């Protein structure tokens, strides 16, 4: 599979760029310390800025890898780093427990994920970022599809996915890092569907 790594992406209101250790104070203040933001995510709120900085320092070491995708979401008007968006992979699933029948996952299942600070909820920022990420993925890799999922109890996230072209496929149970089970709805966006949505003739 051809990869492109984390390159800068710009939209009308947003700049998507690599997260740096120096972003720790804004990341901690704007979303990483907030239990409402992390409620349906796999990780728990950070205890202090030092924890955030330690995480960002670890991520910084991964950016040279072409198959590592992790962006800060920056509001261009203010320079505020208010969220993150990424594409990550799980290993190929076993055929007898294949949750994605009909999809090629010989290179793993690549899934988009995101979170933003509460002060930016309801403003269309997540949709804008996800649309940009989808375009980046299909223009810069040769992947045939991209997955996305949200907690069943967080339907607002599902609306964001559908606005970006993702189609509901099945339900599954994901687990937080502490083992807590989270029932989820899983979506997929194929290259064919993406091209039909964003064709210049549409």
Q: Is residue 63 part of a domain?
A: yes
CATH number of domain containing 22 = 3.40.630.30
Across the strands, what pairs with 69?
A: 87
Q: Is residue 37 part of a domain?
A: yes
Q: Is residue 50 part of a domain?
A: yes
Q: Is residue 174 part of a domain?
A: no
For 158, 163, 185, the CA distances from 155, given in Å and listed in that order, are: 5, 13, 9
Q: Which range, 30-34, 42-46, 86-90, has the best average confidence (pLDDT)?
A: 30-34
The reported pTM is 0.93
Domain count of the fold of the chain: 1
In whole angstroms, give the CA distance from residue 164 to residue 7.
20
Angle 37-42-45 from CA coordinates, rounded to 5°? 45
Q: Is residue 28 part of a domain?
A: yes
DSSP assignment of 26-56: HHIIIIIT-TTTSTTSSSPPPSSHHHHHHHH
In whole angstroms, give the CA distance from residue 87 to residue 85.
7
Q: Is residue 46 part of a domain?
A: yes
Query: To 10 degrees, what angle do helices 155-163 and 125-140 make?
Result: 50
Cα atoms in the Cβ-side hemisphere of radius 13 Å centred on 36: 7
Q: Is residue 153 part of a domain?
A: no
DSSP class of 179: -
Cα atoms in the Cβ-side hemisphere of radius 13 Å centred on 22: 2
Mean local confidence (pLDDT), 118-133: 97
Q: Which domain holds residue 17?
A: 9-143
Q: What is the pLDDT of residues 131-154, one digit of tens each?
A: 999 999 999 999 999 999 999 999
Q: Is residue 188 part of a domain?
A: no
């Amino acid at each position: 599979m051809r990869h492109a790594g984390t390159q800068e992406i710009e939209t009308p209101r947003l700049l998507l760029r690599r997260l740096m250790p120096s972003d720790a104070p804004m990341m901690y203040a704007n979303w990483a310390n907030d239990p409402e933001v992390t409620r349906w995510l796999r990780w728990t709120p950070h205890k202090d800025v030092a924890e955030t900085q330690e995480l960002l320092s670890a991520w910084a070491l991964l950016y040279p890898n072409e198959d590592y995708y992790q962006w800060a979401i920056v509001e261009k008007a203010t320079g505020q780093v208010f969220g993150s968006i990424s594409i990550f992979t799980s290993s190929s699933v076993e055929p007898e427990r294949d949750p994605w029948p009909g999809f090629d996952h010989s290179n793993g299942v690549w899934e988009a994920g995101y979170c933003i600070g509460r002060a930016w909820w309801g403003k269309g920022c997540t949709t804008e970022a996800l649309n940009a990420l989808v375009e980046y993925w299909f223009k810069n890799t040769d992947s045939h599809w991209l997955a996305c999922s949200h907690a069943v109890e967080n339907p607002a996230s599902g609306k964001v996915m559908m606005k970006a072209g993702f189609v509901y496929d099945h339900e599954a149970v994901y687990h937080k890092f502490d083992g807590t089970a989270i029932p989820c709805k899983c979506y997929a966006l194929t290259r064919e569907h993406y091209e039909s949505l964003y064709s210049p003739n549409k």
